[in-house]
């Protein structure tokens, strides 16, 4: 009988489902910021703590208790009005990684054995003044495949926002690196120079590809950044960060698929129990939710997530992955369960078109994305439970929001199939884009689904040049979702004419850009 018991116990341990025990501890106000609960430091009640699935609130004495197995990360869900400590790399330290035996043996190292569970796993918070009006800095896909590309990332992106002021934290939306997980540390070294707390999302290129099951595909990520699923509050905004890559793909065990495991959805459900209904819920993950019946995201996962959000009137999701920029609005026809559509902002990437294209004056690839969006990053401005988004093109002035394409010279008086195109990088099809020639009347432009001709010209320069250029050919163009078209007046006076574009986005922000074309008498 004893032999059978030992055998069964061994089997349970090997499956990672050994009899669970409890973890407990305190959340306290770390006044002296020594990351240690001193006797005079008061504990904090009603703070959420999670084991990655269950979520509980600390009691009146600041104590929590949760079930724990042999592979859990315990994390505190930062409440508004408090900070969590950061390490020397500006990574928030809001978690305790519990892997007594460490991670399984994988090509890239995971978490080292953490040993016996401490008697008390405590979380220190730092009380602070926290404004309901704040700005977050968001990066899509840094995705460096080499040290050289880490340098491009540092010089082309990080240097622009280094030592930024009045931004309390930043967030990278996955694909922090490109498959080589030994680049996590160089990535961390680069981002820490920004000088603010930095949160991270796991992307499909941040996974342990030799993992046999999805739940251990994030072992190396966890060793560097902590849990791949977590939440925190700032002002009246509740952020939920999720790993939404199913690997291996459960349909055929090949590749990956966008979606959520059942334990992740349980975490979201349990977390939302303690979030006021009037707060803004911001979800951050890597792969866009996409349209129903598409191949990139599991429909059932989207439907389950939407069901969990149905009681929250204010929501936003952030994604990256595509290396384009896009605004998507989900309504009832796509499974959204509220009258006001759900907005997903698919953020343009800091790596742009994977560090391709000609080199600029600093020797950095221009890396314009396939839909004509220049590489860059986003500022999310929050005011209570409202938000406003601003996209910043790397290396350009703040007001550069539109790229205009028009012929340089046109025959006077002749009809032409050429047109004026405006690529409004943050645009969506419901936005208003107008144009005028010289100081004439404003005319509406037509939203079109087409290739951005500015980008097409950029790409095919590589194929038509007779001399090899420095850098690497850009990817072929894809349809742009933020392109507008207008006709070219040819019956004006011969000479130079100004093109002025005015775009108004969903938040009421207005942007302008100018260009010109020349009318000449037709040549015989």
In the chain, the percentage of residues whose pLDDT exceeds 90 is: 94
Q: Is residue 39 within 8 Å of residue 76, measured between CB atoms?
A: no
Tokens (6 digits) for 128: 């602070």
**Mean local confidence (pLDDT), 21-36:** 95
pLDDT of 295 reads 87
Q: How confident is residue 16, by pLDDT bands cut at 50, 70 and 90?
A: very low
User: What is the secondary structure of 27-70 as a DSSP string?
Assistant: EEE-TT-SSS--TTSPB-SS-EEESSS-EEE--TTSEEEEEE-S
pLDDT of 263 reads 97
Per-residue pLDDT of 80-120, as tens digits, reads: 999 999 999 999 999 999 999 999 999 999 999 999 999 99
Per-residue pLDDT of 70-83, as tens digits, reads: 999 999 999 999 99
CA-CA distance, 359 to 420, in Å (whole number)? 27
Residue 516 C-alpha from the chain's centroid? 36
Residues sharing a CB contact under 8 Å with residue 267, sequence separation 6 or more, in sequence order: 50, 52, 53, 55, 229
Strand partners, 433: 503
CA-CA distance, 355 to 149, in Å (whole number)? 7
Domains of the chain: 21-125 (2.60.40.10), 126-393 (3.60.21.10), 402-520 (2.60.40)
Q: Is 8 left (phi over 0), alpha (psi -120 to 50) or beta?
A: alpha
For the cut 90, the answer to whether the pLDDT of residue 243 exceeds it is yes
pLDDT of 15 reads 41
Q: Cα–Cα distances in Å, from 72 out to 57, 129, 262?
A: 18, 32, 16
**Mean local confidence (pLDDT), 381-392:** 98
CA-CA distance, 517 to 467, in Å (whole number)? 29
Strand partners, 377: 392
Q: How many residues does the chain have?
A: 524
**Mean local confidence (pLDDT), 58-64:** 98
Tokens (6 digits) for 390: 């601003």
Per-residue pLDDT of 195-242, as tens digits, reads: 999 999 999 999 999 999 999 999 999 999 999 999 999 999 999 999
CA-CA distance, 323 to 373, in Å (whole number)? 9
Query: For tokens 């996209």, what's the residue?
Result: 391
For the cut 90, the answer to whether the pLDDT of residue 2 exceeds it is no
pLDDT of 392 reads 98
CA-CA distance, 478 to 186, in Å (whole number)? 32
Per-residue pLDDT of 124-172, as tens digits, reads: 999 999 999 999 999 999 999 999 999 999 999 999 999 999 999 999 9
For the cut 90, the answer to whether the pLDDT of residue 294 exceeds it is no
Q: Cα–Cα distances in Å, from 248 out to 38, 209, 258, 448?
A: 45, 8, 11, 37
CA-CA distance, 217 to 202, in Å (whole number)? 10
**Exposure string for 429-466, b = 16+ CB within 10 A, e = fewer:** eebbbbbebeeeeeeebebeeebbbbbeebbeebeeee
Tokens (6 digits) for 213: 């099951």
Identify the burial level of 48 via C-beta atoms within 10 angstroms of its C-beta, where 0-12 means exposed, 13-18 middle and 19 or more buried: buried
**Mean local confidence (pLDDT), 452-456:** 98
CA-CA distance, 7 to 16, in Å (whole number)? 14
Average confidence score pLDDT of the chain: 94
Q: How many angstroms separate the most distant Cα atoms in the chain?
A: 104
Tokens (6 digits) for 143: 């995705």
For the cut 50, the answer to whether the pLDDT of residue 5 exceeds it is no
pLDDT of 20 reads 55
């Amino acid at each position: 009988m004893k032999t059978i018991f030992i055998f069964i116990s061994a089997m349970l341990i090997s499956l990672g489902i050994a009899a669970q025990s409890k973890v407990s501890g305190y959340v306290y106000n770390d006044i002296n910021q020594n990351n240690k609960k001193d006797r005079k430091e008061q504990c904090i009640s009603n703070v959420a703590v999670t084991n990655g699935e269950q979520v509980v609130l600390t009691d009146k004495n600041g104590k929590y208790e949760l079930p724990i197995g042999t592979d859990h990360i315990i994390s505190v869900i930062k409440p508004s009005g408090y900070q969590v400590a950061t390490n020397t790399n500006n990574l928030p330290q809001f978690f305790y990684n519990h892997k007594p035996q460490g991670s399984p043996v994988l090509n890239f190292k995971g978490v080292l054995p953490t040993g016996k569970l401490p008697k008390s796993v405590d979380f220190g918070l730092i009380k602070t003044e926290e404004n309901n009006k704040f700005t977050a800095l968001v990066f899509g896909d840094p995705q460096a495949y080499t040290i050289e590309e880490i340098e491009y990332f540092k010089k082309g992106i990080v240097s622009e926002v280094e030592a930024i002021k009045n931004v309390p934290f930043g967030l990278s939306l996955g694909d922090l690196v490109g498959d080589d997980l030994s680049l996590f540390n160089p990535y961390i070294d680069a981002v820490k120079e920004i000088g603010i707390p930095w949160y991270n999302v796991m992307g499909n290129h941040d996974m342990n590809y030799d993992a046999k099951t999805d739940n251990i595909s994030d072992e190396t990520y966890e060793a560097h950044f902590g849990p791949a699923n977590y939440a925190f509050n700032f002002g009246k905004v509740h952020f939920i960060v999720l790993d939404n890559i199913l690997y291996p793909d459960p349909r055929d065990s090949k590749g990956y698929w966008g979606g959520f495991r059942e334990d992740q959805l349980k975490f979201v459900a349990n977390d939302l129990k303690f979030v006021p209904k009037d707060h803004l819920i911001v979800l951050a993950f890597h792969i866009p939710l996409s349209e129903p019946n598409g191949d990139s995201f599991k429909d059932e996962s989207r439907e389950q997530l939407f069901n969990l959000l149905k009681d929250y009137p204010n929501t936003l999701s952030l994604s990256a992955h595509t290396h384009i920029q896009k605004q998507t609005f989900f309504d009832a026809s796509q499974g959204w369960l509220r009258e006001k559509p759900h907005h997903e902002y698919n953020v343009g990437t800091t790596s742009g078109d994977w560090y391709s294209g000609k080199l600029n004056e600093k020797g950095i690839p221009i890396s314009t994305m396939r839909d004509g969006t220049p590489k860059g990053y986003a500022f999310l401005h929050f005011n209570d439970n409202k938000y406003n988004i601003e996209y910043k093109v790397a290396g350009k002035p703040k007001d550069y929001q539109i790229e205009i394409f028009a012929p340089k010279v046109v025959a006077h008086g002749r009809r032409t199939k050429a047109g004026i195109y405006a690529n409004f990088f943050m645009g969506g099809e419901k936005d208003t884009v107008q144009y005028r020639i010289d100081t004439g009347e404003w005319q509406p432009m037509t939203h079109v689904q087409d290739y951005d001709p500015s980008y097409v010209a950029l790409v095919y320069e590589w194929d038509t040049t007779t001399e090899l250029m420095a850098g690497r050919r850009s990817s072929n163009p894809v349809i742009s979702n933020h392109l507008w078209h207008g006709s070219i007046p040819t019956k004006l006076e011969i000479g130079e004419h100004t093109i002025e574009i005015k775009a108004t986005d969903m938040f009421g922000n207005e942007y302008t850009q100018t260009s010109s074309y020349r009318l000449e008498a037709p040549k015989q």
